[in-house]
């Protein structure tokens, strides 16, 4: 049993984080105050107490296939893809351009995760548990008000280094810049430039986990950049097509030196850009409508457990607009120098106008000469044309679509876009719909036009709008884990990636403690967790999602009575849907299942006047096993 499953039951779940762009008034502390542990506010969900231990998920059919997975990009998705594939005992090569692993979680300095604080599972859950062990508790991570989980970037990077070092058949290559790729169904060959010269790797399956989808482009995979048209995916609130992307950020990690460390005035410094970054005598008319917080509130936003501060401030702070996706390497470097200069301007403003002259770039965090993180925080990337396109409309009403049946990565974060640094930001008026917790379909990581190629991180097949939710760290970690499982199964079963059974991938994820559906009722340590995940993934019984402020939640409601209208048997068994809101009796429910099996079912439920949703799910899973008995395609349709 992995470390996540061993410890999850003992970890108190915390409330969901607050999105970057809009916040409730925080109960902040001055940066000099040592934060105290908080108390979990989660309310236990009542569950039917009759325990029936379901059978373990059957292992996917494993043949004697051998081969290599090449993962390009050691970010949030890349590390998880490598670890999952290595655990499934295939050969893995993980290539990273920088000296660090972790991508936006570490190398970009965004050391505060967004969302999924009540859904910590799979490798994201293991990551959270490692941080809690290092700092003493999960509550010790809740130091700033942007998130319930903050940490030092260098601490997280060491966690990832430890992970990849545990597997003998996982080769890690750092400081290798991607140059080219060629191949297809018969295998791939990729070249990289390194300090010691050109390196070439051959692999059966490639996973692009780069920050901007550069490998997918080089492989000739069609993609989109910028905003979509309303007609592209049926999103009436979309305002494209155009090439506008979200702002990026050169994050800063600051520490208090206890003395004046004011930097030199940056080139092209314009203090007026920062006048409304916090409450001060410099405030001007608030044209954006963003909340203006006090200086102490602003600084405590990203307060880290060790007393440093993450400056990733979206309100007239260090967000910066540039679309560098299609730029050459040298053009990107030039653009990012300007982005760094913008961040330095914000730091200079904080030091000279707001009074934080003892706070400067931390000199003990990143292995860089300029003390900045190694990469920018990219909020947007290329988006491939995949086997399935996930839209914001589907995230708002998941059961109006079929993609949830193929779910591999859950998320609960609202749609969060950053556009205020775009020169003509007033032209970007999007009526973002409310969404419920979602699961990303498997087809989103599989390109339509390439064999044995997988795409993860932020370059998956989603629309521009829902990228504002799928881009967040817990989801990209889960996408990486699923991609690693898919690649390993393709190799072991000697199949093309798109030929691997959806249910085989999902079984592998369930066996690794991951969620397929975003239900909060039961944790992976529960004996009924697998039942709810499997039945939920068929749609025969469905969870209920709701938006409460900035908190998105979905529950299966296992202890509620089962209503006749809550059984959806038409697709699977041709039984007409009953719209009655009356509770179904035990005898009625069993008779319904017997009409499907064609044989008697021996169960005490026959004698009950009502049936709970959990009892119903258990019996459906045990007697009909629809999750395994009816294959499902990448489009979510039954086969």
Q: Is the pLDDT of residue 427 over 80?
A: yes
Q: How far apart are CA 357 and CA 257, in angstroms?
A: 9
**Which pLDDT score, from 0 to 100, does residue 5 have?**
35
Confidence band of 61 (pLDDT split at 50, 70, 90): low
Asked if residues 344 and 350 have their Cβ atoms less than 8 Å apart, the reply is: no
Lowest-pLDDT choice from 2-16, 357-371, 407-421, 575-589: 2-16
pLDDT, tens digit (0-9, with 9 covering 90-100), for 198-256: 999 999 999 999 999 999 999 999 999 999 999 999 999 999 999 999 999 999 999 99
For strands 248-249 and 319-320, give the pairing.
antiparallel
Q: Is the pLDDT of residue 7 over 50?
A: no
**Which pLDDT score, from 0 to 100, does residue 448 have?**
97
Confidence band of 547 (pLDDT split at 50, 70, 90): confident
Q: Is the pLDDT of residue 4 over 60?
A: no
Q: How far apart are CA 497 and CA 203, in angstroms?
A: 13
Q: How far apart are CA 440 and CA 453, in angstroms?
A: 18
**Which pLDDT score, from 0 to 100, does residue 18 have?**
36
Confidence band of 11 (pLDDT split at 50, 70, 90): very low
Q: Is the pLDDT of residue 163 over 90?
A: yes
Q: How far apart are CA 618 and CA 140, in angstroms?
A: 38
Q: Is the pLDDT of residue 40 over 60?
A: no
Confidence band of 14 (pLDDT split at 50, 70, 90): very low
For strands 91-95 and 68-72, give the pairing.
parallel
CB atoms < 10 A from the CB of 162, how many? 11
Confidence band of 64 (pLDDT split at 50, 70, 90): low
Q: Is the pLDDT of residue 332 over 50?
A: yes
Q: Is the pLDDT of residue 340 over 90?
A: yes
Backbone angles phi, psi at 508, to 5 degrees: -60, -40
Which string of b and e fits 405-439 if b means at least 16 CB within 10 Å? bbbbbbbbbbbbbbbbbbeebeeeebebbebbbbb
Confidence band of 167 (pLDDT split at 50, 70, 90): very high
Higher pLDDT residue, 46 or 293?
293
**Which pLDDT score, from 0 to 100, does residue 8 have?**
32
Closest CA to 513 of 526, 494, 502: 526
pLDDT, tens digit (0-9, with 9 covering 90-100), for 76-88: 999 999 999 999 9
Q: How far apart are CA 529 and CA 258, in angstroms?
A: 51
Higher pLDDT residue, 353 or 26?
353
Q: Give strand pairing partners of 469.
A: none
Asked if residues 206 and 190 have their Cβ atoms less than 8 Å apart, the reply is: yes
pLDDT, tens digit (0-9, with 9 covering 90-100), for 468-519: 999 999 999 999 999 999 999 999 999 999 999 999 999 999 999 999 999 9
Q: How far apart are CA 474 and CA 128, in angstroms?
A: 10
Asked if residues 405 and 538 have their Cβ atoms less than 8 Å apart, the reply is: yes
Domains annotated for the chain, with CATH where assigned, are 3-240+379-537 (3.50.50.60), 248-361 (no CATH)
Q: Is the pLDDT of residue 549 over 90?
A: no
**Which pLDDT score, from 0 to 100, does residue 224 have?**
98
Q: Is the pLDDT of residue 35 over 50?
A: no
What is the average pLDDT value for the chain, to the nearest integer? 91
Confidence band of 23 (pLDDT split at 50, 70, 90): very low
Q: Is the pLDDT of residue 416 over 80?
A: yes
Mean pLDDT, rounded, for 576-595? 98
Measured CA to CA in angstroms, residue 481 lies from 121, 584, 610 at distances of: 11, 39, 40
Closest CA to 492 of 86, 79, 6, 54: 86
Confidence band of 15 (pLDDT split at 50, 70, 90): very low
Q: How far apart are CA 46 and CA 44, in angstroms?
A: 6
β-sheet with 187-194: strand ranges across? 177-184, 187-194, 197-203
HEC-encoded secondary structure of 592-612: HHHHHHCCCCCCHHHHCCCCE
Asked if residues 108 and 377 have their Cβ atoms less than 8 Å apart, the reply is: yes
Mean pLDDT, rounded, for 264-283? 98
Q: Give strand pairing partners of 440.
A: 409
Q: Who contacts 369 (Cβ-Cβ below 8 Å, separation ≥6)?
A: none
Q: How far apart are CA 639 and CA 626, in angstroms?
A: 12
Give the relative orientation of helices 473-492 and 502-510 as an angle to the nearest 10 degrees: 120
Confidence band of 548 (pLDDT split at 50, 70, 90): confident
> 323, exposed or middle or buried, with CB in 10 Å at 0-12, 13-18, 19+?
middle
pLDDT, tens digit (0-9, with 9 covering 90-100), for 559-572: 999 999 999 999 99
Asked if residues 483 and 456 have their Cβ atoms less than 8 Å apart, the reply is: yes
């Amino acid at each position: 049993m992995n470390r996540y499953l061993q410890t999850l039951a003992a970890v108190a779940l915390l409330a969901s984080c607050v999105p970057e762009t809009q916040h409730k008034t925080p109960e902040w502390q001055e940066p000099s105050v040592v934060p105290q542990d908080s108390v979990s506010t989660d309310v236990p969900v009542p569950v039917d107490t009759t325990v029936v231990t379901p059978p373990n998920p059957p292992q996917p059919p494993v043949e004697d296939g051998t081969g290599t997975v090449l993962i390009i990009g050691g970010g949030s998705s890349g590390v998880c893809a490598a670890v999952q594939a290595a655990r499934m005992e295939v050969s893995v090569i993980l290539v990273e351009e920088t000296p660090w692993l972790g991508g936006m979680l570490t190398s970009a300095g965004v050391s505060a995760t967004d969302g999924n604080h009540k859904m910590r599972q799979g490798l994201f859950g293991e990551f959270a548990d490692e941080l809690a062990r290092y700092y003493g508790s999960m509550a010790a991570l809740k130091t700033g008000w942007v998130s319930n989980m903050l940490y030092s970037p260098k601490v997280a990077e060491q966690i990832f280094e430890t992970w990849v070092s545990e597997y003998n058949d996982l080769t890690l290559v750092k400081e290798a810049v991607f140059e080219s790729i060629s191949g297809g169904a018969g295998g791939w060959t990729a070249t990289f430039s390194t300090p010691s010269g050109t390196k070439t790797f051959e692999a059966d399956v490639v996973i692009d986990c780069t920050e901007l989808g550069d490998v997918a482009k080089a492989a000739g995979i069609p993609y989109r950049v910028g905003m979509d048209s309303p007609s592209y995916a049926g999103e009436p609130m979309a305002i494209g097509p155009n090439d506008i992307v979200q702002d990026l950020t050169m994050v800063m990690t600051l520490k208090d030196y206890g003395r004046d460390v004011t930097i030199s005035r940056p080139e092209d410094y314009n203090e007026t850009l920062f006048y409304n970054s916090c409450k001060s005598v410099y405030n001007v008319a608030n044209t954006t409508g963003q909340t203006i917080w006090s200086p102490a509130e602003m600084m405590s936003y990203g307060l880290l457990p060790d007393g440093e501060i993450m400056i990733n401030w979206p309100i007239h702070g260090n967000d910066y607009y540039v679309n560098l996706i299609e730029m050459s390497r040298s053009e990107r470097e030039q653009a990012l120098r300007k982005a760094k200069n913008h961040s330095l301007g914000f730091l200079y403003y904080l030091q000279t106008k707001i009074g934080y002259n003892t706070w400067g770039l931390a000199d003990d965090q990143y292995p860089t000469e300029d003390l900045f993180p190694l990469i920018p925080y990219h909020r947007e990337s290329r988006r491939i044309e995949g086997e399935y396109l996930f839209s914001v409309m589907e995230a708002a009403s998941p059961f109006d679509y079929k993609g949830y049946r193929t779910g591999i990565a859950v998320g609960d974060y609202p749609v969060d876009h950053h556009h205020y640094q775009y020169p003509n930001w007033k032209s970007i008026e999007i009526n973002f719909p409310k969404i419920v917790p979602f699961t990303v379909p498997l087809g989103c990581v599989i390109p339509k036009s390439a064999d044995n190629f997988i795409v993860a991180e932020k370059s998956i097949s989603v629309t521009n709008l829902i990228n504002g939710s799928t881009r967040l760290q817990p989801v990209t970690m889960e996408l990486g884990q699923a991609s690693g499982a898919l690649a390993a199964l393709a190799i072991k079963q000697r199949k093309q990636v798109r030929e691997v059974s959806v249910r085989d991938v999902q079984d592998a994820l369930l066996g690794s403690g991951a969620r397929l559906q975003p239900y909060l009722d039961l944790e992976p340590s529960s004996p009924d967790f697998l039942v709810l995940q499997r039945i939920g993934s068929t749609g025969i019984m469905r969870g209920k999602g709701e938006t409460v402020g900035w908190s998105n939640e979905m529950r299966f409601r296992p202890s509620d009575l089962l209503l006749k209208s809550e059984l959806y048997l038409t697709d699977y068994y041709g039984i007409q849907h009953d719209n009655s809101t009356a509770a179904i009796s035990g005898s009625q429910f069993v008779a319904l299942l017997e009409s499907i099996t064609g044989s008697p079912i021996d169960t005490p439920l026959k004698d009950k006047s009502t049936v709970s949703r959990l009892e119903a799910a258990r019996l459906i899973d045990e007697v009909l096993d629809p999750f395994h008995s009816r294959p499902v395609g990448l489009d979510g349709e039954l086969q």
